[in-house]
Structure 1
Amino acid sequence: MRNFYFLGLLLLAGPVLAQAPAAAPATASPLAPLTVEKIMRDPVQWLGTSPSGVYWDEDGRHIYFNWNPTKDRRDSLYQVAPTGTAAPRKVPQREQRTLPASGGTYDNKYTRKVYERDGDIYLLDLKTQKVRRVTNTAERETSPDFALRDKLVSYVRAQNLYTWDPATGETTQRTDFRKGSKPASTTPTDKAERYLRAQQLALFDVVRLREQDRLAQEQQQKALARLQPKAIYLGLQTVVNMQLSPDGRYVTYTLRQEPAGAKVALVPSFVTASGFTEDITSRPKVGAAQTAVELGIYDIARDTTFVLGYSELKGLDEQPAYRKEYQLPAKAPMPADSAKAAAAGKPKKPELRRVQPFGPYWSADGQRAFLVMRTADNKDRWIVGLDPATQKIKLLDRQHDDAWIHGPGIGNGPGNVGWMPDNRRVWFQSEETGYSHLYTVDVATAQKKALTSGKFEIQNAQLSRDRQMWYLSSNATHPGEQQFYQMPLNGGPLRQITTRPGAHDVTVSPDGRTLAVRYSYTNKPWELFVMDNKPGAKMRQLTHSTTPEFESYPWRDPEIITFKARDGADVYARLYRPATPAAQGPAVIFVHGAGYVQNAHKWWSSYFHEYMFHNLLVEKGYTVLDIDYRGSAGYGRDVRTGIYRYMGGKDLTDQVDGAKLLTEKYGVSPQRLGIYGGSYGGFITLMAMFTQPDVFKAGAGLRSVTDWAHYNHGYTDNILNEPYNDSLAYARSSPINYASGLKGALLMCHGMVDTNVHFQDIVRLSQRLIELKKENWELAVYPVEDHAFLEPSSWTDEYKRILKLFETNLKPAGDKAGAGQ
């Protein structure tokens, strides 16, 4: 969970220039000194909008991207030549309709691309740049791909798989999935009914002749049906991810069964166009029944369907390690079913965990396939070879984590995976060593090889189009940098291409010679550059997005520091200090949101409102510390999982240790410390104010989780397991259980239509504070705001309250001028 600030809108627009920044006009008003009103205005209007969604056209002559230098209500598509000899050009809507889609799927030789636009399928010849329309229907076609070793185009229409032959123009329906259950047979099964039927046929010629006609018609229909795909009845399931095997014999598909009667929270919206309160359907809460997923195989040659079994997976019967804390004492009575099994001499068989399959992924030669499989509790991931003829799987790799599987290139799904050019090895990313790195495994021998290693992360990996080298993004130079690298196909030294400190978001041209680079630094928002795909090549700027007003202020470049946490771990943080800090002055600690986020880095932050607010605080004499606490991204598995089963544990003590650093090394008064943050940062703020009341004098919790049993399943279950299975983890991780410890001044702010962290969360905590007779707190509500605030008026109101909180509680009485400004 994190604060989503819509990066495409928050980053900065300005005059349309290809190279040098424009000089500020004489009428431009400088920002200094900063005020909340200035920095919380509509960012599109005074900061600008940075380029986003960068992609190359298929011949490499132009770069396309979304941009908004004209300060419209939304971004538009722009085009620029990589030479940078002309300014970026806005692409008219009529021209956009003739452009191939930016996404799509390429054939194995990168000679054609198939894509969807407005619900129809198109085929682009990359050599001639000619486009053929595959479908033109009122129904929507989706999921375009190549099939039958690139001879056909496949797509999905109305939950069925179709193929189209470019050579003949013939369309073939490959599946016949039908809703509901298979119709019951007309042949009676009851003995009495069978007797009556036989009697009728024996007595009456007309009945017998009509029955013969009916049977003949059925036989004719069956003969015709053999030429059509098998009817597969779904019952209450739905079908997705349909694929035709490269030899055309199998169709694989994923079956999804939604839980029956799942209760979904409703979020009331009070300020509406209708004038009536309207309910927004939101989400279930953690621990609710989840969707069951299976892999189906339709064997066309045998006209038979199968559901793949997984019971032989190594470790599938292992129970999570945390369950040992909840085992019954040795002398406790046995549960009834276990006692019966023991009495019968048959020990109870361990329950198998549920599995979700991803794939299959077929090799380019069509000879092999593999699946990625993950347990529902997300503690195991297997990569297995698949033989659809026998419905057998072969273990290639298992990654287990007592906490949960995740990390760069891994995530919650299949992760970053594919086939090596030899069609014998599978490549994937894994945190096996504690950091996400790139591996291969041979499908015949199961021999595994690490292609990268070290105490850094591979954040993204892809093969070049000629499949002769790797393109990698990594933080190998520093945890707070993102650089672009090349690497030999079978591993070897990383060849660093980009060099500037900061972050480089790279898109490689179709011929591999040129890079389109979105680059930013700590105090410089994202801009579009171009460079040759060579080490140390010069980056040439193509856009200029920041406005003269934004540029009139000397935005600070905070120092990236490290300090030792109480358990010896290195913790990274951003430090903002006044030019001449006052002795025993005030300080504020900012806690970023979560989900898997890093903020103590060297590029322009998605928390740009907070970054500017920290500049304002420094102007007012505050020292600001922005910590990448335990659970943050960028530092490997141990930091990522440092919050497992105890949110508000190490992630909170990292803030407390940071506070100690401020007082011992930077001369901050231990009596003048504040803390604030949104979403997960709001949760930590509440835990700090409730459980560390002698450390923090004031805190502002924004859109805060107050009780993890009320948050969503996908995020919370990974970290705390299910509330009914791990009640201890929820009890010690939820601020509402510690509200009695509040001493300092607490501000809580929450959007009333928050569909992520529900407004109900803060209402429940407010009632708890009322019952505890606490008086030093206040709640500010925002009737039209979701989790991510959109309205400048809301941002302004919220941060004026935060500033007033700190000015009132962290400064002496005679040093509070301008509080809330």
Structure 2
Amino acid sequence: MRFTSTLPVLAVLLPAAAAVAQTQPAPSATTLTVEKIMRDQAQWIGSSPTNVGWSEDGKRIYFNWNPEKARRDSLYSTTPAGGAIRKVSLAEQRALPTMNGDYDRKYARKVYEKDGDIFLLDLKSGKARRVTRTAERETDPGFALQDKLISYTRAGNLYTWDPATGETVQRTDFRRGSRPGNGQPTDKAEKFLRAQQLALFDVIKQRDQDQKARQRLQKAVARLNPKAIWLGQNTVENIQLSPDGRFVTYRLAQEPAGEKVALVPSFVTASGFTEDLSTRTKVGAPQTAYELGIYDIGRDTTFVLGYKELKGLDEQPAYRKEYALPATAPVTAADDKNGPKKDKPSTELRRVEPYGPYWSENGQHAFLVIRATDNKDRWIVSLDPATQKISLLDRQHDDAWINGPGIGYGPGNVGWLPDNKHLWFQSEETGYSHLYTVDVTNGQKKALTSGNFEVQKAQLSRDKKLWYLTANKTHPGEQHFYRMPVDGGPMTQITTMTGASEVTMSPDEKTLAVRYSYTNKPWELYVMPNKPGAKARQITSSLTDEFKSYPWRDAEIVTIKARDGADVYARLYRPAKAEAQGPAVIFVHGAGYLQNAHKWWSQYSREYMFHNLLVDRGYTVLDIDYRGSAGYGRDVRTGIYRYMGGKDLTDQVDGAKLLAEKYGVSPQRIGIYGGSYGGFITLMAMFTQPDVFKAGAALRSVTDWAHYNHGYTDNILNSPYNDSIAYARSSPIYYADGLKGALLMCHGMVDTNVHFQDIVRLSQRLIELKKENWELAVYPVEDHGFVEPSSWTDEYKRILKLFETNLRPGASSAAGSSGGN
């Protein structure tokens, strides 16, 4: 059944109506309603522990928690032996070192930043020594010169401090702007006049000689200070002193000038006036350019590293071939007199972004990670700063884009092995993210792990004899903690509880603090010995009695055989007594690259509870890890390249087919909904698959990818002016004419991620297409992720009303939307 109003409804102006009475379950203590599940989550569910860490002596475990149901979490601590949990006082918090920092090679000292100052902690005595106390902020603390000095940055310059003498030395003198002249004339006429003055007047000549003498003296004194390095309009970051103190390396960042930034108006404000929020540029806008600078202190000179020798730097992306028309293509009336335009091969080198250098412990070797700004190449190279030479150690190329666990969009997870000649890194070379080493002396590479699973986290033990890994080796929907010899070999599984285990090791690495959850059990804190198969002891108990009173479903993990033969994982929720030819809803998770068909507590907790409510009402619910999702390797991750709304959408259609063929669902009674990327897929489903989905709720949806941000979109669709085909086939606004079923759209008006403008443009498109069966609900105080329980409640009442109205046979279009008040 469709909405029949002749104009779109701005639903925020209207109260949500009551639900269809005949579909409400009988009220009881365990009956779910929208009002109940969308309440403040800490009050209704409880607060899981987060940000778990250890004291430096390993005697206490710290974590954020909120058992008091306050407005925000507080810091708590307990002992690994299972002592009482206590709230940490503000005075104690002020005295604690931060969790982040840098350790020396013997793990005897730790340097860290706190409140903008630098501290040095002696781990044996537990005493902290203040290194700085200034009004300016010091950052990036570390050990330098083989642990003899402490380094840090202040106001864009590098400083070192000597714990033995207390001496502070400024190591760099970076200055914004251009180098000033020396007062000497450069114009020919000016030079003539100066020479004439010196020849005619002895007083002027003598004063000129005195000035030159003073300048020579000042220059001699200046040699004792760091060289003034003029940055122009660039900024400087990641300033490092080489282990031998001979070089300073730094990264120069050149921001694009005059780029237009989208403004988001906030209408409901404390001032009573509309206030504009400055947000971001749109995809395709010029991005920051980076270079690696090297300051050779001994030679008192600076260099900017070049990359023209990098293999593949001059290669153009494979997709450009689609735009290269053959020279023999027939000329049509639409073509200009010179025939079809044809791309000319470009000899321009692609821009890159350098990371590092990363120095071996003995200071004899260094390497860089270099990424192409189009994210289709990542190079690992050795660096000789004395000659500014680089040598290729590894190249990972992807016609789509480089990413994956331990890789990301930056340098990734990298480091040195204890022999000082092997570096380690993660790569998707085989299609799954695995751990590799390469010998910097001969370039020999070795895979330490392999198989159809992902290494999601990797770290060396403190003695550097073992690897500790988090991986989904047993099942794509499980995460366990493993250990492995430093040179590779069998992975020994340590955690065993089905679900996900997030492990933080004690400083002596003998005890594990484990944040664990299962499908229907939110995260709790456990402690266990660092031994394979050891029993984990639960420390926290966070859930409210009210939440525990409902029998939350343990969703089945099923696989869908997609039309191209791929196995697609999904969560399936089924009623205990399913109605023949009953209704179903498909949920589409957001973020694109995210996993939700797994065996641990979903970050979509509200949606999980809503799915239980739907099943109580007789719906079957399918939650699909479609193409583009995390956890399944490179091919799934990049399955949406240049076509969002392609395989990611056909996975939903194939899921709908499975529901009808295997689980008794009526193919005429299937709805779909999701937020952000899930909202985008919902729009594509309703516009391009109108005979598959009868109703859809698109929340905070991207409607036109040309209006989204650069960092995310350019990787998947390239730049819009270079790959217009990808944008045209991936943006729902081009397909709006296909709408047949009932569409609900919900969007926050102060969304700084997917701007409200996006949904307004689509609304105008629907109006011009004379579409009637759609509704827009707007939320004046909400950003991309809703915060207020009232907003969540209103939104999900409308979603429930949409499904109850359109997926129930004979349901009235005037039916209401609450989940039972």
TM category (shorter chain) comes to: over 0.9
1:436: Cα distance to partner? Answer: 0.3
Q: Equivalent residue of 1:716, what SS?
A: helix
Aligned partners of 2:500 and 2:517 also within 8 Å: yes
| Separation in 1, partners of 2:365, 2:677 | 44
Match of 2:416 among 413, 416, 419: 419
Kindly provide the amino acid, as one letter, of the partner of residue 602 in structure 2: S
Task: Report the equivalent of 2:52.
Answer: 54
| Cα displacement string for residues 76-130 of structure 1 (whole angstroms, at most 9, x for unaligned residues) | 111110111x321110001111111111111122111100000000000111111
Aligned partners of 2:804 and 2:811 also within 8 Å: no
Q: Equivalent residue of 1:706, what SS?
A: coil
| Separation in 1, partners of 2:35, 2:345 | 66
Let me know the Cα RMSD of the aligned residues: 1.5
Aligned partners of 1:751 and 1:787 also within 8 Å: yes
Q: Equivalent residue of 1:202, what SS?
A: helix
1:190: Cα distance to partner? Answer: 2.3
| Cα displacement string for residues 735-772 of structure 1 (whole angstroms, at most 9, x for unaligned residues) | 00000000000000000000000000000000000000
| Separation in 2, partners of 1:477, 1:711 | 37
- The answer to whether the aligner puts 1:633 opposite 2:607 as a matched pair is no
| Cα displacement string for residues 700-735 of structure 1 (whole angstroms, at most 9, x for unaligned residues) | 000000000000000000000000000000000000
1:365: Cα distance to partner? Answer: 0.6
- The answer to whether the aligner puts 1:440 opposite 2:437 as a matched pair is yes
Task: Report the equivalent of 1:23.
Answer: none
Task: Report the equivalent of 1:9.
Answer: none
| Separation in 1, partners of 2:208, 2:761 | 70
Aligned positions of 1:253-264 closer than 5 A: 253-264=250-261
Q: Equivalent residue of 2:640, what SS?
A: coil
1:818: Cα distance to partner? Answer: 7.0
Task: Report the equivalent of 2:776.
Answer: 779
- The answer to whether the aligner puts 1:604 opposite 2:601 as a matched pair is yes
Aligned positions of 1:450-465 closer than 5 A: 450-465=447-462
Kindly provide the amino acid, as one letter, of the partner of residue 458 in structure 1: V
Task: Report the equivalent of 2:75.
Answer: 77
| Separation in 2, partners of 1:234, 1:220 | 26
- The answer to whether the aligner puts 1:124 opposite 2:121 as a matched pair is yes
| Separation in 1, partners of 2:460, 2:660 | 49
List 4+ stretches of structure 1 deviating above 6 A. 815-818
Aligned partners of 1:30 and 1:553 also within 8 Å: no
Q: Equivalent residue of 2:577, what SS?
A: coil
Task: Report the equivalent of 2:810.
Answer: 813
| Separation in 1, partners of 2:660, 2:346 | 57
Aligned partners of 2:526 and 2:536 also within 8 Å: yes
Residues 457 and 348 (structure 1), Cα distance of their counterparts in 2 relative to 1, 3 Å cut: closer
Residues 587 and 349 (structure 1), Cα distance of their counterparts in 2 relative to 1, 3 Å cut: closer
Kindly provide the amino acid, as one letter, of the partner of residue 416 in structure 2: W
TM-score (norm 1): 0.94
| Separation in 2, partners of 1:429, 1:106 | 23
1:427: Cα distance to partner? Answer: 0.2
1:331: Cα distance to partner? Answer: 4.2
| Separation in 1, partners of 2:816, 2:779 | 24
| Cα displacement string for residues 476-505 of structure 1 (whole angstroms, at most 9, x for unaligned residues) | 000000000000010001000001110000
| Separation in 1, partners of 2:385, 2:811 | 78
| Separation in 1, partners of 2:812, 2:126 | 68
| Separation in 1, partners of 2:375, 2:329 | 31
Aligned partners of 2:316 and 2:346 also within 8 Å: no
Task: Report the equivalent of 2:224.
Answer: 227
Task: Report the equivalent of 1:38.
Answer: 36
- The answer to whether the aligner puts 1:93 opposite 2:113 as a matched pair is no
| Cα displacement string for residues 407-437 of structure 1 (whole angstroms, at most 9, x for unaligned residues) | 0000000000000110101100000000000
| Separation in 1, partners of 2:745, 2:359 | 52
Kindly provide the amino acid, as one letter, of the partner of residue 61 in structure 1: K
List alignment gaps of at least 5 residues for structure 1: 1-28, 334-338, 340-346
1:199: Cα distance to partner? Answer: 2.0
Aligned positions of 1:234-253 closer than 5 A: 234-253=231-250
Task: Report the equivalent of 2:745.
Answer: 748
- The answer to whether the aligner puts 1:67 opposite 2:104 as a matched pair is no
Residues 431 and 270 (structure 1), Cα distance of their counterparts in 2 relative to 1, 3 Å cut: same
1:189: Cα distance to partner? Answer: 2.1
| Separation in 2, partners of 1:504, 1:519 | 5
Match of 1:580 among 565, 577, 580: 577
Match of 2:469 among 472, 482, 485: 472
| Separation in 2, partners of 1:554, 1:184 | 78
Aligned partners of 1:595 and 1:715 also within 8 Å: no
- The answer to whether the aligner puts 1:545 opposite 2:581 as a matched pair is no
May I ask how many residue pairs the two structures share in their alignment?
781
| Separation in 2, partners of 1:418, 1:494 | 20
| Separation in 2, partners of 1:473, 1:328 | 47
Kindly provide the amino acid, as one letter, of the partner of residue 670 in structure 1: P
Aligned positions of 1:39-438 closer than 5 A: 39-84=37-82, 86-331=83-328, 350-438=347-435
1:356: Cα distance to partner? Answer: 0.3
Aligned partners of 2:799 and 2:817 also within 8 Å: no
1:212: Cα distance to partner? Answer: 1.7
Kindly provide the amino acid, as one letter, of the partner of residue 569 in structure 1: A
Aligned partners of 1:31 and 1:550 also within 8 Å: no
| Separation in 2, partners of 1:166, 1:595 | 49
List alignment gaps of at least 5 residues for structure 2: 1-26, 331-337, 339-343
Match of 1:567 among 560, 564, 569: 564
Kindly provide the amino acid, as one letter, of the partner of residue 413 in structure 1: G
- The answer to whether the aligner puts 1:715 opposite 2:712 as a matched pair is yes
| Cα displacement string for residues 481-537 of structure 1 (whole angstroms, at most 9, x for unaligned residues) | 000000001000100000111000000110010000000000000000000000110
| Separation in 1, partners of 2:190, 2:641 | 63
Aligned positions of 1:766-805 closer than 5 A: 766-805=763-802
Kindly provide the amino acid, as one letter, of the partner of residue 246 in structure 1: P
| Separation in 2, partners of 1:755, 1:78 | 33
Task: Report the equivalent of 2:13.
Answer: none
Q: Equivalent residue of 1:122, what SS?
A: strand
Task: Report the equivalent of 2:17.
Answer: none
Task: Report the equivalent of 1:19.
Answer: none
- The answer to whether the aligner puts 1:621 opposite 2:615 as a matched pair is no
| Cα displacement string for residues 234-278 of structure 1 (whole angstroms, at most 9, x for unaligned residues) | 111000000000000000000000011111100000000000000
Task: Report the equivalent of 1:25.
Answer: none
Kindly provide the amino acid, as one letter, of the partner of residue 785 in structure 1: E
Aligned partners of 2:424 and 2:437 also within 8 Å: yes
Task: Report the equivalent of 1:11.
Answer: none
Aligned partners of 1:31 and 1:38 also within 8 Å: no
Aligned partners of 2:805 and 2:812 also within 8 Å: no
Task: Report the equivalent of 1:10.
Answer: none
Q: Equivalent residue of 1:493, what SS?
A: coil
TM-score (norm 2): 0.94
| Cα displacement string for residues 12-49 of structure 1 (whole angstroms, at most 9, x for unaligned residues) | xxxxxxxxxxxxxxxxx975210000000001111111
Task: Report the equivalent of 2:19.
Answer: none
| Separation in 2, partners of 1:806, 1:37 | 17
Kindly provide the amino acid, as one letter, of the partner of residue 595 in structure 2: Q
